[in-house]
A and B are shown apart, each in its own frame.
Chain A
Amino acid sequence: MNTRAVRAVARKDLRIALRNKGVVLPIIIVPLIMMILMPALMIFLPIYLEPMETGEELRREMGAFFANMPAELYNLFAGLNDQQTWVVIASMFMFAPFFLIIPVMVSSVIGADSFAGEKERKTLEALLYTPITSAELFIGKVLAAFLPAMVVSWACFVLYTVVVNAAGLMVLGRMFFPNLAWIVLILWVVPAAAALGIGVIVLVSAKAKSFQDAYQMSGLVVIPIILLLFGQMGGILYFSTPTVALIGLAIWAVDAALLTLAVRTFGRGEIIARL
C-alpha cells in the first residue's frame, strides 16, 4: 500500500470538494441548525414556560412512551419535575437520531463530489494512468469523505454537550450528559453512519452523471434514518445502550455489504467503461 498516494488522493479530493459551494454550504448549515439551533430552542424554551410541581403530567401525556420504557431508562426520571423531565427527554432521546443524519450527510456530499464529481469533470482518466492501484484510489476517496464526516459529527457532539449541560446546570443543578448510550452512539454508530453514506454514494456514482445526480439519489439513504427518528419519537425504539449498540451493528453490517459491492464497481476496467 502506497500511503503517500492514498494521502495525495484524499487531500486533493477534499481540497476540491471544499472549494465547491454546493458541498460547503450543507456541511456548515445543516449541522448548525440540527445540532445547535434546534436543540438550544427545544431544550431551553420550555424552561421559561410555567413550572409544574412534578413530572407526572408530562409522563401521563407521553403515556405509551413511559409505560413501555425499560427500567434502566425509567430511573433517569425518578423525582424529576416537568421541566427537568423535558430537558432529559429532549436532550437524551430526541436529537440522538440527528447524529446519524450528520455523518451520512457530510460523507455523502463530499463523496458525491469525489466520486461522481470527478467523473463529471472528466479528470478520472488521468488518475488511472498513474501507478496508483484501484484499491489505493478507492481508499483515498473514501477517506476524503469519511474523515471530515467524523470531524464535523464530533465537533457537533462537543457543542451539543455544552448546550445540553448548560440546560442541565440551570434546571437540574448538574451536568448529566453524555451517558453510556451516547458514548456508544458517537464512537460506534456515527462512524458506521459515515461509512453508510459513502457506500451508497459510490454505488450511486457508478450510475450518476453528475455530482447533483449522485447527491439527490443518495437522499434515499437518509429516508430510513428519518423513519428511525420517528420510531424513536413515537416510543417504538428506546435509546438504551444495548439498542444503540445493536443499531450500530446493523449499520456496520449494511456497510460491509455496500462497500463490498462498491469496490467491485471500482476496478480500472469498470471505471474506464463508464468514462
Chain B
Amino acid sequence: MPEWVIETHNLTRHFGALVAVHGLNLQIARGEVFGFLGPNGAGKTTTVRLLNGVLNPTAGEIRVLGMDPIAQGPAVRRRTGVLTESPALYEPLSARENLLIFGELYDVPPDVLRRRVDELLEMFELTARADDKVAGYSKGMKQRLALARALIHAPDILFLDEPTAGLDPEAARQVTELIEHLSQEEGRTIFLCTHNLVEAERLCDRVGVIHRGELIAVGTPEELARRIWHGHGIVVRLGRPLPAEALASLKRLEGVAQVEVENSDLHILLDQEHRTPAVVRALVEAGAEIYAVRPREHSLEDIYFQLQANARGGSA
C-alpha cells in the first residue's frame, strides 16, 4: 500500500455562485509525478491553493503529509513548495536576494541557506548572473529562478502551476528536464498542473483530468485509454487503397468493432487482441499490400480530448 502524501475527500470550493472545485477525490503517493490536466479556469489553481491552506474549502476534507492544511497551514507550507503560474519574483532584487528572502521566510537555518542558495544557482545555471537584477533576465531564466525558489527549503511536495507556459521551446525543454531531474534523481512528489499534454505525457506517472471543477478521470494514460476505448486498436499500413468490397467484408469479420480509413492507414478496433492474426490473414487473402501492422497507442492528447468531449456531452 503506497504512502499517500495528498488525500482529498469530496473537496469543494464555491466562490459565490461559481463552483470552482466540486467533490474532488484525490490520492497521490509519495514520489509520484501527478499531472493535473484541464483547460484554463477548470479549477487547477484553486485546487493548489486549497491543498496548501491558502484558501479554505467550502466542504470536504484534505490531508497533506498527514496534516490538515486548514488548521496547520504553516506546518504544511513548510514542507511544500509552489511554483505559481506567473513567476512572481522581486524584479528590483537579484536572484541571490530573491532566494535568500524566501529561505528566511521558510526558516532555513542561516548556514544551510547560504550553501543551498549557491547549490540552486549552480543547478539552475544562474550563478553567472546571480547578483544582477532579475528585471533584466529572460523569461526562461525567471522561470528557472522561480523553480529554484520553490525548492529553497527542499520541500517534500512540489506544486508546479503551468511551469512551461509562455516559454520558448528551448527554455521549456530546460525546465522540463529540471522537473525530470527533481522527480527521478531527487525523488520528490510533484503535482503538475498543466494543459501542455506533451509535457504531461513525458513527465507524469498518473494524470487526473479536471473539467469545470470536477475530476472526470484519474489513472495512468494506458488505464484511461482502456477505459475510453474498449477493446484493442491496430493500425495497418497499406501500399495501395483497399477495394470497397474487401473493406466491407473486413467489417463483417468476427470481433471487428470498427474500421476507419485514414490516408493509407486502416484503423481497426478489435474486441480482443487475439483477433489480430485472423484480420491480417483476411486482408492478405483479399490482396492487400501490407507494409506494417502495429498496435494503436493513444496519446495523452487523444485521451484528454476524448474525455473533455465526453464531459461536455454529459453536462450538455
* Residues of A participating in the B interface, judged by any CB pair closer than 8 Å: 2, 4-5, 7-9, 11-12, 15-16, 19-20, 121-133, 268-269, 272-273
Q: Given the complex of chains A and B, what is the CA–CA distance between A209 and B62 in angstroms?
A: 33
Question: A11 contacts which chain B residues (CB < 8 A)?
Answer: 101
User: Separation in Å of the A246 CB from the closest CB of chain B?
Assistant: 41
Question: B73 contacts which chain A residues (CB < 8 A)?
Answer: 131, 133, 268
Indicate if the CB atoms of B78 and A131 lie closer than 8 Å: yes
Partner of B52, one of A16, A19, A123, A129: A129
Indicate if the CB atoms of B92 and A5 lie closer than 8 Å: no
User: Separation in Å of the A269 CB from the closest CB of chain B?
Assistant: 6
Indicate if the CB atoms of A132 and B105 lie closer than 8 Å: yes
Q: Given the complex of chains A and B, what is the CA–CA distance between A20 and B90 in angstroms?
A: 12
Question: Could you say which interface size class chain B belongs to?
Answer: 20 to 34
Question: A273 contacts which chain B residues (CB < 8 A)?
Answer: 15
CB within 8 Å for A8 and B101 given contacts A16-B90, A128-B54, A268-B54: yes
Q: Given the complex of chains A and B, what is the CA–CA distance between A119 and B88 in angstroms?
A: 10
Indicate if the CB atoms of A126 and B82 lie closer than 8 Å: yes
Indicate if the CB atoms of A12 and B84 lie closer than 8 Å: no
Q: Given the complex of chains A and B, what is the CA–CA distance between A89 and B167 in angstroms?
A: 66
Indicate if the CB atoms of A131 and B75 lie closer than 8 Å: yes
User: Separation in Å of the B9 CB from the closest CB of chain A?
Assistant: 21
Question: A126 contacts which chain B residues (CB < 8 A)?
Answer: 82, 84, 88-89, 102, 146, 149
Residue of A with least CB distance to B45: A125
CB within 8 Å for A127 and B56 given contacts A19-B92, A121-B91, A133-B74: no
Contact with A along B64-91 (1 / 0, CB 8 A): 0000000001110110111010101111
Indicate if the CB atoms of B84 and A129 lie closer than 8 Å: yes
Question: A127 contacts which chain B residues (CB < 8 A)?
Answer: 105
Indicate if the CB atoms of B107 and A131 lie closer than 8 Å: yes
Indicate if the CB atoms of B55 and A272 lie closer than 8 Å: yes
Q: Given the complex of chains A and B, what is the CA–CA distance between A125 and B84 in angstroms?
A: 8
Indicate if the CB atoms of A5 and B49 lie closer than 8 Å: no
Indicate if the CB atoms of A20 and B107 lie closer than 8 Å: no
Indicate if the CB atoms of A123 and B105 lie closer than 8 Å: no
Q: Given the complex of chains A and B, what is the CA–CA distance between A273 and B16 in angstroms?
A: 12
B261 contacts the other chain (Cβ, under 8 Å)? Answer: no
Q: Given the complex of chains A and B, what is the CA–CA distance between A15 and B93 in angstroms?
A: 8
- Listed from nearest, the 7 A-B pairs whose CB atoms lie closest are A8-B104, A131-B74, A126-B88, A129-B82, A130-B105, A19-B92, A131-B77
